[in-house]
Chain A
Amino acid sequence: MELHQQYPVRLRINGQDRTFNVESWVTLLDLLRERAGMTGTKKGCDQGQCGACTVLVDGRRINSCLTLAVMQDGKEITTVEGLAQGQDLHPLQQAFIECDAFQCGYCTPGQLCSAVGLMNEGQATSRDDVRELMSGNICRCGAYPQIADAVIQVMDLRKNAGGDQPAFTIGAVLA
């Protein structure tokens, strides 16, 4: 068997310092799932189209399937396993339950990490913004309205005038 060079990767995953030796082509997603035992992060499409693999790197949401583990050396990674504080769920996790924001649950870890990233970014001020800025996460069960509800609830956007008035007009698709 051909032996391939191993590269050291140091990561702080959900507050724990970990060191790995991986081949160059191991993605962050595969490292998390196969080497770190953190299977909360899901492999959906493995090509950046579904968002199921979304994690936070130094607080920013990214697709962990489209980055190499070796490129994230020294970074702080937060996965869905790192959102709760002990037995206390993250407010978004609680809101997803209250708003019925999932059915099968496969996309949920990515949705949750993406929503945390969205809140960190601070760009969303309305329901439309939340929907647009959650569009990198596909939900095949179609829980989109409830997912937006959960995020809006936690961000307390309902109080914004015009911020939560869904319209149902079918028309041209524009940017």
Chain B
Amino acid sequence: MNPFTFTQARDLDGVLAALNAGQARPVAGGTNLLDLMKEGVMRPSQLVDINGLDLDQVESDEQGGLLLGALARNADTAYHGLVRERFPLLSSAILAGASPQLRNMASNGGNLMQRTRCVYFYDIGTACNKREPGTGCPAKEGVNRQHAILGTSESCIATHPSDMCVALRALDATVHVQSSSGKRQIPFADFHRLPADHPEIDNTLQPGELITHITVPQADRFMAHSAYIKVRDRLSYAFALVSVAAALDLAADGTIKEARIALGGVAHKPWRIEAAEQQLSGHAAGEDVFASAADAILQGARGYGQNDFKLTLARNAIVQALTTAVRGTDAASGGERHPEGDRA
């Protein structure tokens, strides 16, 4: 790691002042930042430990929504009774990510801020437009099994690696940020961005801003029918090739009243096409309508060689996630989470 100075923050104003001065970087869990510093990918000259701030809430708001402090740990969030019962999609998504040790460390704010695991981004001996703008993107014609099929640019085909963020996108979360000059709310759809000509910019957080909390609107209508499906190269503890967060509000006769579908592992941000969801409303749940929604979501998708399989995989995963959601949230978790049992 590069030499850096370290300070432990006592209050939010102090952190914001340090961030405003320009050099400091906040650290909470450190699981991604310290890894990147060891690799020389990120070299901050100043770290501010923000773990002392009072931002670890997991609680309900007056409208039945969810408030997550930026410093609440991923594990504490996923296992919280409120999240498990009322936001099972979020709980499943978090528990599909990383390992128990990492979930014990990683903060909710940090989960949003984590960076791509593209091998070229991580290897400072190679070119990478995200790490060093203008040097090129070897992934387009190189090792790209993990890479994006949607929303890519000439500059970058990296994916955002989070599972949690896929569920937050499906549930229309809001990111609350603060700087020395005030507070701001960012709809989850606008938090992460597509690479376009500036892949070095992952999200719309501005210099000097700190994520303080995340809110999720009341989602009781999706409680009974949600599923997070994650397809990866091994049974556990691997990043998604494709993941799907699906939530359905079903009428008593099985007609779809409302659908939410977000994808991970396919783009520089969680991928969601609202028009495809609307196209499901009013229809009886079934494989045919799910497949045509999948086609609408994947419109414009393209592979880069090693990841060509993701087009078919994503389509099948969407249909499977929706089918699983119809069967019920309980079927999507617990005993059936690992159909292969003892294989790994």
Are A and B a genuine interacting pair, yes or no? yes
Which residues of chain A come closer than 8 Å to B6, judged between CB atoms?
7, 24, 68, 70
20 extra interface residue pairs, beta carbon distance < 8 Å, beyond A168-B342, A170-B343, A171-B340: A24-B3, A24-B5, A24-B47, A48-B99, A51-B99, A61-B100, A61-B104, A62-B105, A63-B31, A66-B102, A68-B47, A70-B49, A118-B100, A136-B237, A145-B342, A148-B342, A167-B341, A169-B339, A173-B234, A175-B231
Nearest-neighbour CB distance to chain A for B258, whole angstroms, equals: 23
Say yes or no for B27: interface residue by CB 8 A criterion: yes
Say yes or no for B30: interface residue by CB 8 A criterion: yes
Of the candidates B3, B30, B39, which one forms a contact with A67 in the assembled complex, judged by CB atoms under 8 Å apart?
A: B30
Contact: B34 with A27, CB < 8 Å? yes
Q: Which residues of A (57-93) have their CB < 8 Å from a CB of B?
A: 60-63, 66-68, 70-71, 73
Which residues of chain A come closer than 8 Å to B51, judged between CB atoms?
71
Which residues of chain A come closer than 8 Å to B243, judged between CB atoms?
175
9 A-B pairs with the lowest CB-CB distances in the bound complex, closest first: A136-B99, A167-B341, A166-B342, A175-B230, A135-B236, A24-B6, A25-B1, A175-B96, A135-B237
Nearest-neighbour CB distance to chain A for B84, whole angstroms, equals: 11
A5-B5, A27-B34, A136-B100 known; A174 and B337 CB under 8 Å?
A: yes
Which residues of chain B come closer than 8 Å to A137, judged between CB atoms?
99
Contact: A174 with B236, CB < 8 Å? no
Nearest-neighbour CB distance to chain B for A138, whole angstroms, equals: 8
Which A-chain residue is minimally distant from B34 (CB atoms)?
A66
Of the candidates A25, A66, A162, A173, which one forms a contact with B232 in the assembled complex, judged by CB atoms under 8 Å apart?
A: A173
Say yes or no for A123: interface residue by CB 8 A criterion: yes
Contact: A175 with B340, CB < 8 Å? no
With A and B bound together, what is the CA distance between A39 and B281 in angstroms? 60
A132-B337, A136-B237 known; A62 and B101 CB under 8 Å?
A: yes
Which residues of chain A come closer than 8 Å to B228, judged between CB atoms?
175
With A and B bound together, what is the CA distance between A78 and B150 in angstroms? 45
With A and B bound together, what is the CA distance between A62 and B31 in angstroms? 10
Which residues of chain B come closer than 8 Å to A133, judged between CB atoms?
100
Write out, one digit per residue, whether chain B residues 36-72 have a CB within 8 A of any chain A CB (1) or not (0): 0111000000010101000000000000000000000
For B, the interface residue count at a CB cutoff of 8 angstroms equals 50
Nearest-neighbour CB distance to chain A for B43, whole angstroms, equals: 11
Contact: B235 with A48, CB < 8 Å? no
Say yes or no for A1: interface residue by CB 8 A criterion: no
Nearest-neighbour CB distance to chain A for B80, whole angstroms, equals: 12
Which residues of chain B come closer than 8 Å to A24, judged between CB atoms?
3-6, 47
Nearest-neighbour CB distance to chain A for B232, whole angstroms, equals: 6
Which residues of chain B come closer than 8 Å to A46, judged between CB atoms?
38
Which residues of chain B come closer than 8 Å to A54, judged between CB atoms?
101
Which residues of chain B come closer than 8 Å to A132, judged between CB atoms?
236, 337-338
Total contacts A to B, CB within 8 angstroms?
144
With A and B bound together, what is the CA distance between A175 and B340 in angstroms? 11
Contact: A166 with B100, CB < 8 Å? no
Contact: B96 with A62, CB < 8 Å? no
Contact: B101 with A114, CB < 8 Å? yes
Contact: B335 with A63, CB < 8 Å? no
Which residues of chain A come closer than 8 Å to B4, judged between CB atoms?
24-25
Say yes or no for A121: interface residue by CB 8 A criterion: yes
With A and B bound together, what is the CA distance between A105 and B177 in angstroms? 46
Contacts A/B (CB < 8 Å), 26 sampled? A7-B6, A24-B4, A48-B31, A51-B99, A62-B104, A66-B31, A66-B34, A67-B29, A67-B30, A68-B6, A70-B8, A70-B49, A71-B27, A71-B51, A121-B100, A128-B338, A131-B342, A133-B100, A135-B235, A135-B344, A136-B237, A145-B342, A165-B341, A166-B342, A170-B343, A172-B231
Q: Which residues of B (1-15) have their CB < 8 Å from a CB of A?
A: 1-6, 8
With A and B bound together, what is the CA distance between A63 and B75 in angstroms? 14
Which B-chain residue is minimally distant from A133 (CB atoms)?
B100
Say yes or no for B155: interface residue by CB 8 A criterion: no
Of the candidates A5, A48, A136, A174, which one forms a contact with B338 in the assembled complex, judged by CB atoms under 8 Å apart?
A: A174
Of the candidates B39, B233, B342, which one forms a contact with A167 in the assembled complex, judged by CB atoms under 8 Å apart?
A: B342
Contact: A48 with B5, CB < 8 Å? no
Which residues of chain B come closer than 8 Å to A60, judged between CB atoms?
104
Contact: B343 with A25, CB < 8 Å? no
Q: Which residues of A (129-147) have their CB < 8 Å from a CB of B?
A: 131-133, 135-137, 144-145
Which residues of chain A come closer than 8 Å to B342, judged between CB atoms?
127, 131, 145, 148, 166-168
